[in-house]
Structures are given as structure tokens and as C-alpha cells.
Amino acid sequence: MGPVTAPTSADLWHHYGRTRHATDRTVPDTFRWAWGQDCGPGPDILGDLSGLHVADLGAGVARHAAHLAVHHRPARVVAVDASPAQYAMAADLYGHLTPRLQLVRSDVVEHLRAAPGTYDVLYSVFGAVDFTEPHRLLPVAASALRRGGRLVFSTLAHHLGGAPAQPDVEHADIPARTPDGEPATMRRWVLQEHVWAKLLDEAGFTRISGDLLPAGQGPRAADTLLLTAWRGPLP
């Protein structure tokens, strides 16, 4: 019998990042939007964050958020993740950065729905945008932004096995493991750029733009799609 879809209560991110957590406790000097984290643009894509309210959607152990909190002078960075395991590792690594870095264990859609007009910048680095049904996520992301705020996210430009991205709003089931090691699957949205653009437009975003970041080296190299969208007119 092959992998089955796990109950929604199972933490399918329980095992992710544990090896690095045990060996690397630093605040990263930077991060990259590209899949391999070895090329392409860095956090400067987000612009000047001084004094702004920022949220990382699907932050994992919050390494990207910690970098922004330490190096880019925001008023606050909120690192949102639904995984109890990821939240616990983030608290262990970066809890000392409170209050500039706020760690939140929550479903991203629920968090954004409860925070209308709160954020200047939302971003996701292969995070919640990849793993949340876009018709649920993108409208509440737009409503959680202040007018003139923006959403920036990187996502796979094609499936890791080489298959092209989906031409419609369809998810793929990808392998995962439950906390006790049982095989399972989780949903991932790997969509063509024009599909993302249509979804963002329907959610109320404007000035939607995309860039293709070519793959670097390595056995699991993949091209990255980097998308930026704004809420309402620019300030």
C-alpha cells in the first residue's frame, strides 16, 4: 500500500530542518529567493523595510524572518507557521529576538483573516503560498495588507521531477511523513505564471509581475518563479 493523505491534524513538517537545527543556530547573513538558495536576488527585493510591519507566510523555523529582523530594521516581522514542530524550533533558535521578531503558530489563512489592514509587506519563500489553496489564501492576503502594500513570493516554476507547472489551479500530491514516520502526502500548488497572475488579479492585487530565476547547480535544481503584487494604488 502506498502513501495516503494524512489526517489534517498530523504535523507533516515535523521532520523538516531538524538536522540543520542541531548544527546551525545563527541568524543568516542573507537569503535567496531561488530554490537552491545559491543564486539570484536576495531580500533587497522587498525594498526598504525600515519601520514597516512584515509577515513571513509559512516561515518554518523563521531563518528568513530572523534575517530581516536583525538586518533590515522593520518595526516588526511576524513569522507565521502552522507546524508545532517548526514553531518550537523557531522559538528555540530565535525567541531571543522578540519583540522585533514575533513567532506565531497559526494557520496562515486564519492569521491573515484576523488581521485586516495590518501589514505593509507579506512574503513567502516556498512557504504557505505553495501549500495553501490559493483561492483561500490570496484574498485574505490582500485584505491583510495596507493600501500600497505588497506580496512577494517565490514558488517552483516547474515540478521537481521536471514536469511542467500546471495550466490550471490544480494541486499535486507530494511525499511527506507523519511525526511517527508513516508515509503520507501533502498538497503543493505548482502553477504557470499566467495562472498565478489571474489568481492574484481576482484576489484584488494590481501591478502583478513575475521573474524566472534559472536553476543553479545540484541534483535537485529547479527554476524559480518570483512574483510581486501590490494592493491598491501605491502610497
CATH number of the domain within which 221 lies: 3.40.50.150
**How many degrees, rounded to 5, is the angle at CA 35 between CA 173 and CA 124?**
75
Residue with cell 505548482: 190
Distance in Å from the first CA to the final CA of the chain: 55
Question: Residue 221 pLDDT more than 90?
Answer: no
The band of 3, judged by pLDDT with boundaries at 50, 70 and 90, is very low
Count: domains in the chain: 1
Q: Measuring CA to CA, how many Å separate 13 from each of 2, 8, 105, 211?
A: 19, 12, 13, 28
Reported as a single tens digit per residue, the pLDDT across 13-43 is 899 888 889 888 999 999 999 998 888 899 9
Range(s) of the domain holding residue 29: 4-231
Cell of 233: 494604488
**Computed over its alpha carbons, how large is the radius of gyration of the chain?**
17
| pLDDT on residue 233 | 66
Higher pLDDT, residue 199 or 17:
199
Closest CA to 154 of 198, 96, 215, 98: 215
Closest CA to 79 of 94, 71, 92: 94
Whether pTM > 0.85 for this model: the answer is yes
The band of 133, judged by pLDDT with boundaries at 50, 70 and 90, is very high
